[in-house]
């Protein structure tokens, strides 16, 4: 029996060797084995070539293995940045992070209930491909999987209160201090959240608060929260650095049949250039999301299935990566973490692969991340933490609404300038030119200067039309890039807030249990202590968010205004030139 597959999405071939397929088209496969993420086959037109493995599902007799593949590149086209939910509120968690090359052994459609689910899931996704180092060199820039990001998981601003702890199973037995993978078996004294899709559970927040996280924290892994002028803050990076992203260049491999774009990254602290592809960023992003439960990891620019080699797209993606990099390097925790440093500094291919595997096997992720945090001695007032968290929730909701509004307005403003404004000014220019042409019919010498001046004025207005059309690239676009990045952060915060609120709820429950004699004081105290750690981290992260927000919006609004001023000055200059022409007329 011939191997057959069904296309899950449209795929347009962009390079020799690829074949185009339409959604639901049946493809005859020549082999079930993918080559670097590509399958060889023939489409319904009989064309023979490669299709991305992630775009198709095998047609087997056993239909149960056909699984939902909803996070392909196409799925992101609506939003400017990857992983920003394209709107639509979805309170029920859909584990749509099952994108895998189906040639690998399929994972269960839902992760089994063992915390940290996210961690395990990620390990599966990335460790499963360890066998073939070629996987790293997968040609399909955007086809690498991004599993379990909060942005995808949470449908924007869902009301996580309504999604909160459900029924509790109360037990008086003491907590089992099991290993990393054994928490699920332990019967916790304080309620466990039975909603296995809760971010609080997934992030490892619950496991940590309940004392189920364990791991050896090296000195280098220690993350300090200090008490600053405005409250808890991440200890500043003593070695701040920046990183430039330049020279996106098209490179080919796979006998020239596959192409990708490589960027040159130059960190300021090493000055060693490294070459990285979008898929590397994507991989790194997944590592960071997995590792840091209450840190808002900036989203990387959106995936795009077609037009990936168009100049505009490359330029836009590069700008997005620069914004991303800027947020990475200015985050005291993210900037210093091993996997990011490895990404920035490693030039040797063998060392790269070793570092990659190490990062994928990192145990200090999720629940264990909280173990690495050291806080000031004086605990936080948890009531104040709750109040601040609530306030921040209101803030993020309002900021999300208004960034959406600014985004829509500026988008329309840019569109109007590119189309309508340009047209109006050019029509004015053309009508002046037609007037000067009429005047030229009269050969009076005293009219010549005027005719020329009016013609020049016509040209000036046509140029001004062009200025209007060009301007949004210089001012509106950067603001929209900024907004997109912040929309990513704002999409992260519901989950972060959820973790914080979950921890606070656990403290309240434990207090109640102590009052009811169901729990011993020391146990409740340790829950409170761990909640204090989460609170320090959350407060520090919120503080960091406000700091970079003020910094970014200040500098971006200044940039926008400077550009606008320059723009109107350019127009004024053009008109002044035109006016001067009349002195001679």
| Secondary structure (DSSP) of 310-360 | SHHHHHHHHHHHHHHHHHHHTSHHHHH-HHHHHHHH---HHHHHHHHHHHH
Closer of 174 and 555 to a second copy (Cβ): 555
The nearest distance, CB 482 to a second copy, in angstroms, is 11
CB 189 within 8 A of CB 172: yes
Closer of 161 and 412 to a second copy (Cβ): 412
The nearest distance, CB 541 to a second copy, in angstroms, is 14
| 387 in contact with a second copy (CB under 8 A) | no
Closer of 519 and 571 to a second copy (Cβ): 571
Closer of 18 and 481 to a second copy (Cβ): 481
Q: What are phi and psi of 21, to 5 degrees?
A: -135, 155
Q: What are phi and psi of 29, to 5 degrees?
A: -90, 140
Determine if residue 277 is labeled as part of a ligand binding site: yes
Determine if residue 279 is labeled as part of a ligand binding site: yes
Q: What are phi and psi of 294, to 5 degrees?
A: -115, 25
| 144 in contact with a second copy (CB under 8 A) | no
Write out the binding residues for a second copy, residues 96-115 only, by CB under 8 A: none
Determine if residue 361 is labeled as part of a ligand binding site: no
Site string for a second copy, 428-467 (x = CB under 8 A): x-xxx-xx-xxx-xxxxxxx--x--xx--x----------
Tokens of 48: 């023979």
Q: For a second copy, which stretch binds (CB under 8 A), given 108-116, 201-209, 280-288, 396-404?
A: 396-404
Give the separation between CA 241 and CA 270, rounded to whole angstroms: 9
Q: What are phi and psi of 94, to 5 degrees?
A: -105, 120
51, containing H or E segment: strand 48-52
Residue with tokens 């009429």: 438
Q: Is 73 helix (H, G, I), strand (E, B) or coil?
A: helix
| 410 in contact with a second copy (CB under 8 A) | yes
Nearest to 537 by CA among 377, 370, 384, 382: 370
Write out the binding residues for a second copy, residues 223-252 only, by CB under 8 A: 230
Q: What residues form DSSP beta bridges with 234?
A: 225
Site string for a second copy, 57-76 (x = CB under 8 A): --------------------
State in Å, rounded, how far the first CA of the chain is from the last one: 87
Site string for a second copy, 533-572 (x = CB under 8 A): -------------xx-xx--xx--xx--xx-xx--xx-xx
Q: For a second copy, which stretch binds (CB under 8 A), given 213-221, 258-266, 330-338, 398-406?
A: 398-406
Give the separation between CA 585 and CA 571, rounded to whole angstroms: 22
| Residues at the contact surface with a second copy, assessed by CB under 8 A | 230, 391-392, 394-395, 398-399, 401-403, 405-406, 408-410, 412-413, 416, 420-421, 424, 427-428, 430-432, 434-435, 437-439, 441-447, 450, 453-454, 457, 546-547, 549-550, 553-554, 557-558, 561-562, 564-565, 568-569, 571-572, 575-576, 578-579, 582, 585
Annotated binding-site ranges: 277, 279, 317
């Amino acid at each position: 029996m011939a191997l057959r597959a069904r296309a899950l999405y449209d795929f347009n071939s962009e390079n020799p060797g690829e074949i185009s397929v339409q959604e639901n088209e049946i493809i005859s496969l020549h082999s079930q084995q993918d080559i670097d993420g590509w399958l060889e086959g023939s489409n319904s037109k009989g064309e023979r070539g490669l299709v991305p493995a992630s775009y198709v599902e095998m047609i087997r007799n056993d239909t149960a293995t056909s699984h939902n593949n909803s996070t392909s590149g196409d799925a992101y086209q609506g939003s400017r940045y990857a992983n920003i939910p394209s709107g639509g509120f979805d309170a029920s968690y859909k584990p749509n992070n099952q994108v895998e090359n189906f040639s690998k052994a399929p994972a269960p459609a839902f992760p089994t209930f063992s915390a940290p689910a996210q961690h395990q899931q990620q390990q599966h996704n990335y460790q499963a491909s360890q066998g073939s180092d070629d996987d790293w060199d997968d040609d399909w820039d955007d086809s690498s999987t991004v599993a379990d990001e909060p942005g995808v998981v949470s449908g924007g601003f869902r009301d996580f209160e309504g999604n909160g702890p459900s029924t509790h199973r109360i037990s008086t037995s003491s907590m089992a201090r099991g290993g990393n993978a054994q928490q699920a078996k332990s019967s916790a004294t304080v309620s466990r959240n039975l909603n296995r899709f809760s971010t609080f559970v997934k992030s490892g927040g619950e496991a940590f608060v309940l004392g189920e996280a364990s791991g050896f924290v090296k000195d280098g892994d220690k993350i300090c929260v200090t008490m600053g002028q405005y409250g808890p803050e991440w200890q500043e990076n003593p070695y701040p650095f920046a990183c430039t992203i330049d020279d996106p260049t098209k490179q080919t491999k796979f006998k020239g049949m596959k192409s990708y774009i490589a960027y040159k990254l130059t960190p300021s602290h090493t000055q060693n250039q490294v070459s990285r592809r979008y898929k590397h960023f994507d991989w790194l992003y997944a590592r960071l999301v997995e590792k840091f439960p209450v840190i808002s990891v900036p989203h990387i620019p959106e995936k795009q299935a077609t037009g990936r080699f168009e100049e505009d797209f490359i330029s836009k993606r590069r700008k997005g990566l620069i914004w991303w990099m800027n947020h990475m390097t200015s985050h005291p925790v993210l900037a210093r973490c091993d996997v990011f440093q490895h990404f920035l500094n490693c030039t040797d291919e063998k060392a790269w692969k070793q570092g990659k595997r190490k990062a994928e096997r990192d145990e200090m992720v999720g629940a264990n991340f909280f173990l690495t945090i050291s806080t000031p001695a004086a605990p936080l007032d948890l009531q104040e933490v709750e109040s601040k968290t609530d306030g921040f929730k209101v803030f993020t909701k309002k900021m999300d609404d208004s960034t959406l509004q600014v985004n829509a307005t500026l988008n329309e403003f840019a569109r109007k300038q590119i189309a309508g404004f340009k047209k109006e000014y050019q029509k004015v220019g053309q009508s002046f030119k037609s007037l000067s042409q009429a005047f030229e019919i009269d050969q009076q010498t005293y009219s010549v200067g005027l005719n020329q001046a009016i013609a020049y004025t016509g040209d000036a207005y046509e140029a001004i039309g062009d200025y209007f059309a060009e301007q949004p690239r210089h001012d509106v676009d950067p603001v929209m890039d900024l907004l997109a990045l912040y929309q990513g952060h704002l999409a992260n915060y519901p989950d972060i807030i959820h973790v914080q609120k979950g921890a606070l709820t656990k403290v309240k429950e434990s207090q109640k249990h102590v009052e009811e004699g169901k729990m011993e004081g020391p146990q409740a105290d340790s829950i409170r202590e761990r909640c204090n750690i989460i609170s320090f981290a959350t407060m520090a992260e919120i503080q960091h968010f406000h700091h970079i927000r003020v910094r970014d919006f200040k500098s971006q609004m200044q940039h926008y205004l400077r550009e606008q001023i320059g723009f109107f000055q350019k127009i004024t200059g053009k008109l002044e030139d035109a006016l001067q022409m009349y002195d001679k007329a």
